[in-house]
Chains A and B, each alone.
Chain A
């Protein structure tokens, strides 16, 4: 146990990395179309126990000092993308549902409608126009696929997240962890979550309403963090 034990210390995404077989198109998409600057690169070879080709690892800034990175391996054969679904990293057969294929994607945040429309404009003027624009009550998003087949979403929140949504998210996760396993279902989750709501919601509300000094112990039990139910 030390002074850092309970603190949330990470500061965002150092990098999320993917392979590419077309660095030129990748640069045209992220740097030239979306305007994400190239902020770093590493030229290396495979010197470790895994023998692998020389490669370039390059990074785009995606805001907040977070970075999106790509590996380009010299001489590596690109997989066949003419059959099946997916991207150059993960391939799925034709029968795989699209909703599953789309389950891994990167969504980038913008602060306003104006900014969202600006990225829409940039994409629509490029080889990679917006494929879908969705708005519902809380968020609005545009979607496209980059030259490697990776799905990219740009999204804005229509209103800020409220404290009760944080509580709700944590209750969902606590309920999920309790019921997960064979036979788990949304119904089982909602039943368990109702139990947790009955146990914790009022206490949480009192902690929200209470003056600052009274908060710590009650909030620790009722809301986010390492919750033991």
Chain B
């Protein structure tokens, strides 16, 4: 099933969006000022690839639909189905 996570469109979050766009099977859309990261399968985003530092990394997810966060640490953000 398709699940989504939402990321606010502000300059500091561009790293996570850029990496998400490059992942296979992931579609990045927009609703209002939020990017919508959508996929049929769970995703994993590498923190270092985003270039984001801790404070912004740990606050970049604004909403979850269909997914739960399986892991969110200094290495990666990983989702899983609910």
Q: Which residues does A use to contact B, with CB under 8 Å?
A: 136-138, 159, 162-165, 167-168, 171-172, 187, 190-191, 193-198, 200-205
State the CA gap A26–B16 with chains docked (Å). 45
Residue from B32, B64, B69 whose CB has the most chain A CB atoms within 10 Å: B32
Q: List 21 A-B contacts (CB under 8 A).
A: A136-B54, A137-B11, A137-B52, A137-B53, A138-B12, A138-B56, A163-B33, A164-B32, A167-B32, A168-B62, A171-B62, A194-B64, A194-B65, A195-B65, A197-B63, A198-B65, A200-B32, A203-B32, A204-B32, A204-B33, A205-B33
Q: What is the size, in residues, of chain B's interface with A at 8 Å between Cβ atoms?
A: 24
Please indicate the chain B residues that have their CB under 8 angstroms from the CB of A194 in the complex. Answer: 4-6, 62-65
A190 pairs with B55, CB closer than 8 A: no
A191 pairs with B65, CB closer than 8 A: yes
Give the interface SS of chain B, mostly helix, strand, loop or mixed.
mixed
Give the interface SS of chain A, mostly helix, strand, loop or mixed.
helix
Interface string of B64-75 (1 = CB under 8 A from A): 110011000000
Please indicate the chain A residues that have their CB under 8 angstroms from the CB of B32 in the complex. Answer: 164, 167, 197, 200-205
- Separation in Å of the B29 CB from the closest CB of chain A? 11
A201 pairs with B33, CB closer than 8 A: yes
- A136-B56, A190-B63 known; A201-B12 Cβ under 8 A: no
- A138-B56, A190-B64 known; A197-B12 Cβ under 8 A: no
Please indicate the chain B residues that have their CB under 8 angstroms from the CB of A136 in the complex. Answer: 53-56
